[in-house]
Amino acid sequence: MNKSEVLVEILAELRPQVSIPVDTEGIDGPREIPRVTLGSVSVRRVPDGHQNYVGVETDGSGRETGTVHHLVWRATVDTVVVTPDEVERDDVLDLIGSAFAIHEDLPHEWHPDVRLIEVGAESPRSLPFQEPDLFSGGRTLTFEYVQEVTKSGNTLTAVTEAVDPTLTISETVE
């Protein structure tokens, strides 16, 4: 899993649950009201406390071709709801919370690479002096997920020179 896959999964979860448009932030993002926007996304590596080495990768004949590592990442996604009605804003924020809160206990059922889902508290974000007729609010969603990375290794394919089996470390080779 990676950052863009996290966003795709969030959109897939929210769109059927929420009756207003849901999209990512950006120039081409939704501007109609009401709307839900996946705002800032921060992703950072989690210092996991254990080695991320998982094992070796092999080809079809069983030869080792590289090593496999699992990196753990924490993605924090800010969901922003803008509506012309304060009650509708709160209802949509509740729907967002409940859509992911049901997965907090078993996050791997939502996606097999996800190992943590946290739903943050609602926070009103209205700016009455800038947008007096709009009500804005947000909720932070946090996901920890595993990304599998394969590092290719050099493969020994042939031995071209045999080493003298009687050679010891104390002998000098000339």
The predicted-structure confidence for 53-96, as pLDDT tens digits, reads as follows 888 888 888 888 888 888 899 999 999 999 998 899 999 999 99
Q: Is the separation of the CB atoms in 127 and 135 below 8 Å?
A: no
Of 54, 62, 67, residue with least CA distance to 152: 67
pLDDT at 116: 94
Q: At what angle do helices 3-17 and 86-101 cross, to 10 degrees?
A: 120
pTM of this structure: 0.76
- Give the mean model confidence (pLDDT) for residues 37-62: 83
Residue 26 has pLDDT above 70, yes or no: no
Q: Vertex 80, ends 78 and 84: CA angle to 5°?
A: 170
Q: Residue ranges of the domains in the chain?
A: 3-48+69-148
Q: CA-CA distance, 123 to 138, in Å (whole number)?
A: 5
Please say if the pLDDT value at position 114 is more than 90.
Answer: yes
Pairing of strands 35-45, 22-24: parallel
Q: How far is CA 163 from CA 156, 158, 168, 173, in A?
A: 16, 14, 11, 11
CATH topology of domain 3-48+69-148: Alpha-Beta Plaits (3.30.70)
Is there a contact between 39 and 82 (Cβ–Cβ < 8 Å)?
no
| Peptide linkage before 34 cis (omega within 30 of 0) | yes
List 72's β-bridge partners, or say none: 146
**Computed from CA positions of residues 157, 161, 162, 166, in that sequence, does the dihedral angle turn out positive or negative?**
negative
Confidence of residue 161 (pLDDT cuts 50, 70, 90): low
